[in-house]
């Protein structure tokens, strides 16, 4: 492998090292993050300021999206790819505006779980973006956008970094599947525990290829706290909009807004790009999902669920980006990024010290587009997957996936990087020679359009003869809620939300 070449800003931000994976456990049930950057808070005490709810209507006002030109924007004509835990067809999800791309999660092998959100995270994000809950009047920030859901996470969030890379590759390849609503944005509430050198990191290259294809990647900074010292990956790269969360204390003025204590800050000079409301946001609830069962006090009525995190802030930012692109469709990802980061200065606390700005759609609409290509160099993409994974490891029956391997087998990063740049990693439903999905839009689900599934052959790296999980037995979506026992399963992540706070 070549030695690193200075790559302008990219080289300056290069990180080295990684986090050694913890030892696998024999049994695991309940929630695990696998790199998901979300928290769910119930606000159980009167002194818990995070319990002050900020509705999506208040969020829209706070980010300057309900006055002037911005007030008439809905995101119509803009496609957003949500790479997450799937979307459940709860009443607040407008099914006609949802497209189910391939389900790349382990749960794709269960017809009763396929495409659907068993965790409860992805639906919460979708609600922030396009939701329309008649019961409460809650509407998403970009209710006219078209959402393409690519499910990668299971009921406990389990996902390997190679599944994430495959999902990003698929979005790049199929970004124009709906010419009237081309995918222009990826909302990525995922962050690995790795600390890779971005000059050779595969995840960095995958994100860069999306950026080069005209897709703005919005990534969560992580929830480990202001003193964590780094952003989660891929937010630590430069071909993304790295998003931190603010606490808006239930008001629409930005005068009292502060950087949330849970948002990651980096000590290597990589600043957050933008802040957005992300604390105690009510969005769509998935009854019977893992988080719904685990944190019942976070429920807000029958249809909503309160969550806090850079995940929520990322969804807000992705939706805001759709509003700007509706009005200014010729913007490149770089131009859109510069417009979005030029928001409202916050005057309190850590944010004031950092000179951080909060998202403001009206300011972005009025701003002048930057010139130049903003070239910063390109990752080779040939680095070690374990460095990218860091502590975010997926396990099957107690056996942790490691090395240069996908969930199916060997992964040649040199061959992948060449094909990623040529947008040829996918052929139909085959990614890098591994059958992950069907070959086109012939699947069926509640959504307007669905990519076909496929049966995975062989067994997992954990020694199983097939990909069936005994924990799937008896689980079914009734049309409004999940039925079945406590969520647990064969596939899980070695991360256990140790840095998150739960109500």
Active site residues: 84, 121, 311
Separation CA 314–CA 264 (nearest Å)? 13
Separation CA 397–CA 44 (nearest Å)? 36
Alpha-carbon torsion (137, 139, 144, 150), positive or negative: negative
Separation CA 13–CA 8 (nearest Å)? 9
Instruction: Quote the tokens at residue 171.
Output: 């979005």
- Tell me the C-alpha to C-alpha distance, in Å, between residue 164 and each of 233, 278, 300, 422: 12, 23, 31, 18
The DSSP bridge partners found for residue 192 are: 233
Separation CA 294–CA 410 (nearest Å)? 36
CA 320, 324, 328: angle at the middle one, nearest 5?
165
Separation CA 88–CA 220 (nearest Å)? 22
Contacts of 437 (CB under 8 A, 6+ apart): 102, 103, 104, 108, 429, 451, 452, 453, 454
The answer to whether 202 and 413 have CB atoms below 8 angstroms apart is yes
**Phi/psi of residue 300, each to 5°?**
-125, 90
Alpha helices by DSSP H, listed for 156-294, are 161-173, 202-212, 290-294
The answer to whether 245 and 275 have CB atoms below 8 angstroms apart is yes
Q: Which of 216, 204, 126, 231 is nearest to 171 (CA)?
A: 216
Q: Tell me 418's DSSP state.
A: H
CA 346, 347, 353: angle at the middle one, nearest 5?
90
- Tell me the C-alpha to C-alpha distance, in Å, between residue 86 and each of 101, 114, 146, 251, 354: 10, 9, 15, 31, 35
Q: Tell me 466's DSSP state.
A: S
Q: How many residues does the chain have?
A: 503
Residue 61 has a CB neighbour count (10 Å cut-off) of 18
The answer to whether 214 and 141 have CB atoms below 8 angstroms apart is no
Residue keyed to tokens 């009921």: 155
Pairing of strands 79-84, 183-188: parallel
- The H or E element spanning position 144 is none
């Amino acid at each position: 492998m070549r030695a690193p070449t200075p790559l302008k800003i990219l080289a300056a931000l290069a990180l080295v090292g990684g986090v050694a994976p913890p030892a696998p456990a024999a049994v695991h049930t309940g929630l695990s993050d696998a790199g998901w950057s979300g928290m769910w808070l119930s606000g159980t005490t009167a002194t818990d300021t995070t319990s002050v709810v900020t509705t999506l209507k208040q969020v829209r006002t706070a980010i300057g999206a309900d006055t002037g030109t911005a007030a008439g924007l809905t995101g119509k004509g803009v496609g957003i790819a949500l790479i997450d835990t799937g979307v459940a067809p709860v009443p607040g999800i407008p099914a006609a505006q949802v497209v189910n791309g391939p389900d790349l999660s382990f749960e794709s092998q269960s017809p009763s779980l396929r495409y659907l959100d068993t965790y409860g995270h992805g639906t919460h994000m979708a609600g922030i973006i396009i939701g329309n809950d008649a019961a409460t009047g809650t509407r998403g920030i970009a209710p006219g956008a078209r959402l393409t859901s690519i499910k990668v996470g299971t009921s406990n969030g389990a996902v390997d970094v190679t599944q994430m890379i495959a999902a990003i590759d698929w979005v790049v390849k199929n970004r124009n599947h709906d010419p009237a609503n081309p995918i222009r944005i990826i909302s990525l509430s995922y962050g690995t525990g790795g600390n890779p050198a971005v000059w050779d990191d595969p995840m960095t290259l995958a994100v860069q290829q999306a950026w080069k294809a005209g897709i703005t990647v919005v990534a969560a900074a992580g929830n480990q706290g202001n003193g964590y010292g780094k952003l989660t990956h891929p937010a630590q790269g430069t071909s993304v909009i790295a998003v931190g969360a603010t606490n808006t204390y239930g008001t629409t003025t930005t005068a009292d807004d502060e950087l949330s204590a849970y948002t990651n800050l980096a000590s290597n000079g990589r600043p957050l790009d933008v802040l957005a409301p992300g604390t105690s946001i009510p969005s769509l609830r998935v009854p019977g999902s893992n988080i719904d069962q685990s944190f019942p006090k976070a429920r807000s009525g029958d249809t909503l669920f309160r969550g806090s995190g850079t995940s929520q802030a990322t969804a807000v930012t992705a939706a805001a980006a759709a509003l700007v692109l509706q009005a200014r469709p010729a913007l490149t990802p770089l131009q859109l990024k510069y417009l979005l980061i030029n928001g409202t200065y916050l005057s309190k606390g850590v944010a004031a010290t950092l000179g951080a700005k909060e998202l403001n759609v009206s300011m972005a609409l009025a701003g002048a587009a930057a010139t130049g290509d903003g070239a910063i160099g390109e990752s080779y993409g040939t680095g070690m997957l374990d460095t990218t994974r860091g502590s975010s490891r997926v396990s099957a029956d107690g056996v942790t996936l490691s090395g240069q391997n996908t969930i199916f087998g060997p992964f040649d990063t040199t061959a992948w990087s060449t094909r990623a740049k040529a947008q040829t990693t996918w052929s139909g439903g085959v990614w890098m020679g591994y059958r992950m999905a069907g070959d086109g839009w012939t699947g069926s689900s509640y959504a307007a359009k669905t990519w076909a599934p496929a049966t995975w052959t062989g067994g997992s790296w954990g020694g199983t003869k097939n990909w069936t999980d005994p924990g799937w037995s008896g689980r079914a979506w009734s049309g409004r809620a999940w039925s079945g026992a406590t969520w647990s399963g064969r596939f899980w992540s070695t991360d256990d939300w140790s840095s998150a706070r739960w109500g």
